Every structure is written in structure tokens, then in C-alpha cells.
Amino acid sequence: MIKKHLIPCTVILVLLVMAKVFAYTLPEVKTSLDKDNKNTLKKEADEPAFSLAQLEFAEETLPMGDAKINGKMKKVLASFSYQNLQTNRLHRKAAEWFPIIEPILAQYGIPNDFKYIPLVESGLQGGTSPKGAAGYWQFMPGTARTYGLKVNSRVDERNNLRKSTIAACKYIKELYGIFDSWTLVAAAYNVGDVHMKRQINRQNQDNYFKMKLNRETGGYVYKLISVKEILENPVRNGYVGQRALIAYAGSTNSNVE
């Protein structure tokens, strides 16, 4: 008889003890969650809001306080958003090309930001231009030969990523010796050094962002900055895919020469 009463009493006692334990542990969990939420909110509050002042090319920034320049930068940046450009294709090309391009740029003392030129020149469209420019760096045949590339009916080294990058570095370094500004070098890469020198002299202006240039060249560095921004800060610019977008180490593709 005693055993029959002992079992229910034991069960009730165990339940009471468990209830007491949970009554004390649950507030602690809530406190922990509240603390985590506060830390997350604090971290987000500490992060500076994005501004155009953060954008630069080869450590050359946009002139601040110029509404026209800021408006143009916003317009070009918006056109390179994930929704408008489906930039996952650029992410794939960057992962494939950058591990080859970056060490060569460093070897020649060229700023790392110049790796975005092939993405703008050939990554967006590719093929041969109506004027005859071709390859990763979109060299004209004559310019390609000048900087050591073979271009003939049998071989076209403009399509060899490694060799064409070396040729591009030689050309870029030569341009820097003329203009002493990386933004002007990038613009001259697009339009040619002779035309760029003529415009600098005619306008008496050597700040790329303040110069009046043809539509393509006038937007060229803005495009480079935009591609850099969407690749380095993909989530901020609407990219919803994998966060680790550019796998620099060991990501070379066997199809890339």
C-alpha cells in the first residue's frame, strides 16, 4: 500500500523540481537573447553608412561637393546593380581571371584596381570591337604587337590572358609616365594617349572627373569604380548569391591561358 502511494509522490516531486529548474533557467535564456540582439544592433549602428566618399579608383577619389559628379556616379553605379546587369556573370569571370591578373599587376607595380579593366573591356560583352580591338584587354592589332603580342592569321595572343596582361602592364606603366595619374591612365587606356594629352592641354585641366570628354571615355572610370564596388560589396548592391564570390586561391580555370 505504501509503495502504491510512494510512486505517485515521487513523480509529483520530480515534476515540481523540474518546474523550478525551468522557472529559473528560462529568464537566463531570454536575457542572453536580449544581450545578443543588443550587441547586433550596436554593431549595425557602429558601421558607417555608405557614401560616395568611400568610392575610389587606385586611391584616387571623386571630388566631393560636386553635385554633377555625384549624380553621374550614382547613375552609373545604379546601372551596374545586380538587377540591371545580372552581375553573377561578372563574379564568375572575376573568380576565373583575377588569380592570374593580380600577381602580374603587382609585379609591374600597377595598382590592383586595374584588374577591373578586362571586366569592363571584354567581360561585359566580349568578342572583337567594330574597330578591331580584341582579347581580354581589347588591344588593337598594332598596339598589341608594339607591346610584344603575336597577332597574325595563325595566332592571336590577345586571347592569352597571361601574355595580354603582361602587355597591358607595359602599356599602363608607359601611360603613367606620361600622365602621373591613375584615373587619367585608365581614361587614356580607353581613348588613347594622344587624344588624352590633347584634351588636357585644350581644357587646361588634369583632373579626370572635371574634364569634358566623349561619352564613352567620360564614363569609363565611373564604370571601373562601379564594377569594383559591386564585386567588393555584392550584398550591399543587390547581389543575392553566394557571399564568397571571388575565390582568389586555387580558382584558376584550365581553359584560361
Q: What is the DSSP letter of 137?
A: T
Q: What is the pLDDT of residue 65?
A: 86
Q: What is the pLDDT of residue 51?
A: 77
Q: What is the pLDDT of residue 216?
A: 94
- Cell of residue 47, nine digits: 558601421
CATH number, span 90-237: 1.10.530.10
Below-50 pLDDT ranges, the chain: 2-3, 17, 20-37, 39-45, 47, 242-254
Cα→Cα distances 197→61, 165, 192, 238, 240, Å: 21, 24, 9, 38, 42
Nearest to 241 by CA among 37, 91, 138: 91
Q: What is the pLDDT of residue 89?
A: 78
Q: What is the pLDDT of residue 249?
A: 38
pLDDT tens digits along 186-218: 999 999 999 999 999 999 999 999 999 999 999
Q: What is the pLDDT of residue 88?
A: 72
Domain boundaries, the chain: 90-237
Query: Which residues make Cβ contacts (< 8 Å) with residue 11, sequence separation at least 6?
Result: none
Global pTM value: 0.75
